[in-house]
Amino acid sequence: MASDHLFNYVFNTHFGYQMTKATGTVLWYNGQIQHTAPLVLTAYNRARLRNITKSADADFSFGVVSAAPANVSSSSSKSESELIRSQNTYREVLPKVLRSIFLPLVSSLMCSNFVLFPIAERALLVKHLHLLTGLSPSLYWILNFVFDFLFYIVTALCILPTLWFFQAGTLTYVCAYLCVVAGLIFALNLLHGYAALPCIYLASFLFDNPGHGFSTLAVVTVVERACADRSIDDQARMRRISRAASVGCLGEVFMEHYAHEVNNAVVSYVIGTARKVTRLLPSCSYARAMTKILQLAAESSVCHVGGIELESQCNSKVTDTKLSLKQCCEHMNSPNRTAYLIHPFDKNMYSAYYEVIGLSFQGAAVFVMLLIVESMLKVWERELTSLDDEAYTSPQSSQQATMMTRGLAQNMKNKGAHLEDTEVQAENNVVEDAVTGKLPAVPGLMWPVMVVRRLHRSYGIFESNVVLRGLGFTVRRGECFGLLGANGTGKTTTFRILTGEILPHSGNAFIGTSSIVEDTVQFQQHLGYCPQRDGLLDMLTGVETLTLFTRLKGITMTSNYLNTLLQVYRLEDIADQLVGTYSAGSRRKLSLCISMMGTPQVLLLDEPYVGVAPMARRRVVNYISALQRVANISVVLTSHSLTDVEFLCNRMAVLGDGQLQCLGSLPQLKAKFGKGYTITVKTYPDRKNDEVYQRQVIYSVWAAFQGSELVHSYEGVLEFRISWVRMPWSKMFILMARIKKQFKLLDFYIADTSLEQIFLSVSRKEASDAATAAALQQQQEQQKPLAVHHIMASALGI
């Protein structure tokens, strides 16, 4: 019966029985209706009595005999009155309690799914790439709100049939008023979405994972099994949030119901204040307003129908907590008694007026707060964490700041002598002259199109991890500037600052008269950016992605333009497929294609060749080189593919310890750091730990090549540097062939110094400085003389 006619089973079927030989007699009753248990037992006993007596009129008769005096005392009458009042209170509070539990759950599930896309777009840098096209943050959030609200309207419409089905037993009056109630509920749902969506957007800044954001914002007590694969900390955090929300809404129900019975003025004031504070939460306001609308609709139903039901309600004590019905009872004999009912939106504490007003103001207020946070959050972070330039340049202040941020080891390192490269010094002078307008107009010298001045940036608690320490350089028009460095040296942080994703704690960057700190939007309009992460939406196709960015950038999208972009990057075969199905190389090529659209003034490429096949990489490199020459755009490139950097870049800089270690063109770097040749010797694996054998090989190479220097020794690989030699290549190979035969070496190489070897040399120099600082720290702690060996020195004791 329940599967076929659920409504009749719940509301119209009271009790029944079943008699079988296996189980005997089984009585069942409907617990939704009061007193059905004794009724079904009485009916069963009456049937047995008539069966035994063979009389169709046989029945039970009950009498109550009281041992007390005939006159009923006032105390017993009072007890009966309190019992009736307690029962009425139970019937009144229970629906509110249930609604306070489940309506916030419904409201949170209705809105929490809208947090998924804002978090995903921010974490995947999709939002950042959209803002780089010139899209304002306010327009971004307004468009999100409009489309999310349209989807929310569909959800709000789907709720109406469900509420009507479960309230059909109480709203049994004219269809016109039933439609009015449905309209009020729909309007309340719209107000809830209007107020809750900005709160959801504001909360999205607290999460970097869409799943965690959704689970935390939703009431997770119901979906806890779906979150079983999450960590214990996540489960505990979400349980605490869910428990706090439920307790708050339940507490608000009891405060509202018993507030009029409190005689203490202080307690009444606290309860009133707490109830007003709970109106700031859209879910609680929504639950309270929905409860009041349904309650007023049920009371209005009784008043409209009238008759015995109305008289019964008016004669009972239930009207003490039903103000609208109480007013109807006071004018029960009036032909226009429904005029005295309280409308759900009347200005009355019993109505949903104040909750509706609260939701109306919450939407606008939180949306304004969202725009302020979006535009000012990076500025506030800079203001709270920035120091004056003197704090970075003054030796005393620098020492104090270093002691605070990096500890004793880093302080000892800063005390060591650091000889800045002459080209780096000259570049810093050019930066200062360009910023102050003192850069002379030298014929043949390209004017800087982008100037980066004294960038400082730190991360961690109390800004303990210093990433950039006064980084400065210039990028000239039509130049390709290569920024090299090991992992964790600050390359990606530099690109995040230059694109406006974060602001430096100190320093600035300029393109023309636009500043990344003061004029972020104007600065971003000159940029094209290919981030280390692709910044693509998996649910769009390649063509849809390109069309989206061309429209954001204001570029006229023609079929020829689209086909040219797809052909250059060999994406025409998969252009109509979802981006989520692309390989890593295809996603990278699509991201490169987006960054070059519109021919930006400065093109920033952060690891652009990761995952790209060698043939496709060469094609992309040639296209960037041609675009650089034809359009005269400037390129800032960072890559682990040093061969491509060597081919593309006019100037290169090695970044280490948050600042430039060396700078110049490839011939300049080779002349300064890579003079001569490099000889690499490889021993067999069984000889890699034989120090005596390796020492003999080293002595033989030193004897054959006067002035050679051992620069690296690791796992049986010996690297020698010869800065100057007077012999042809043929003689060098003959000498090394003899050494290989004598010591039975695995292999050897003789080569001119490459960019990779220069990069490794500078990186090892930086590691050497770190080792020196650690040794000095240990010496100071132990107060013992300690000989600090350079890391470039051989581990063999030579």
| Residue linked to tokens 């054998």 | 693
Is the per-residue pLDDT at 391 higher than 60? no
Q: What tokens appear for 677 in the block?
A: 């040749």
Q: Among 43-57, 73-87, 269-283, 386-400, which is the least confidently predicted range?
A: 386-400
If you search the block for the tokens 């974060």, which residue do you land on? 502
pLDDT, mean of residues 658-677: 77
User: What number is the average pLDDT over the span 549-570?
Assistant: 85
**Domain residue spans of the chain:** 6-53, 84-370, 674-782
CA atoms within 13 A on the CB side of 62: 3
User: Tell me, what's the pLDDT at 86?
Assistant: 60
Judged against a pLDDT cut of 80, whether residue 552 lies above it is answered with yes
Residue 557 predicted with pLDDT over 60: yes
CA distance 653 to 638: 10
For residue 637, give the H/E element and its range: strand 634-638
Tell me the mean pLDDT in the region 651-678: 80
pLDDT value at position 209? 86
pLDDT band at 535 (very low <50, low <70, confident <90, very high): confident
Tokens of 676: 């001569």
Rounded Cα–Cα distance for residues 449 and 514 (Å): 11
Contact 636, 603 (CB under 8 A): yes
Q: CB 378: neighbour CB atoms within 10 A?
A: 16
User: For residue 475, is pLDDT > 60?
Assistant: yes
Is the pLDDT assigned to residue 616 strictly greater than 60? yes
The pLDDT of residue 564: 84
What pLDDT is stored for residue 795 in this prediction? 39
> Which of 51-55, 193-197, 222-226, 317-321 shows the lowest per-residue confidence on average (mean pLDDT)?
222-226
- Radius of gyration of the chain, Cα coordinates, nearest whole angstrom: 40
Q: Would you say residue 372 has pLDDT above 80?
A: yes
The values of phi and psi at residue 578, to 5°, are -65, 145
Amino acid 243: pLDDT: 47
CA 52/CA 196 separation, integer angstroms: 67
Neighbours of 675 (CB within 10 A): 12
Between 3.90.45.10, 3.40.50.20, 3.30.70.1110, 3.90.280.10, what CATH number should domain 674-782 receive?
A: 3.30.70.1110
Question: Is this structure's pTM higher than 0.95?
Answer: no
Which of 271-275, 282-286, 454-458 reaches the highest mean pLDDT? 454-458
Q: Which residues pair with 662 in a beta bridge?
A: 654
Q: Specify the pLDDT at position 225.
A: 30
Number of Cβ within a 10 Å radius of residue 12:
11
Q: What's the token pair of residue 412?
A: 């000892």
Question: What is the mean predicted confidence (pLDDT) over 213-230?
Answer: 50
Helix (H, G, I), strand (E, B) or coil at 715: coil
State yes or no: pLDDT of 791 exceeds 80. no
Highest mean pLDDT among 241-255, 362-376, 767-781: 362-376
Which range is least confidently modeled, 27-31, 388-392, 396-400? Answer: 396-400
Q: What is the overall mean pLDDT for the chain?
A: 75
The percentage of residues in the chain with a pLDDT greater than 70, rounded to a whole number, is: 71
Q: Quick one: which H or E segment has residue 416?
A: none
622-633 average pLDDT score: 84
pLDDT value of position 543: 92
Tens digits of per-residue pLDDT, 183-194?
888 888 899 899
Least confident of 63-67, 113-117, 601-605: 63-67
Lowest mean pLDDT among 319-323, 554-558, 598-602, 644-648: 319-323
Between 727 and 784, the more confident residue is 727
Mean pLDDT of 230-258: 48
At 78 the pLDDT is 52
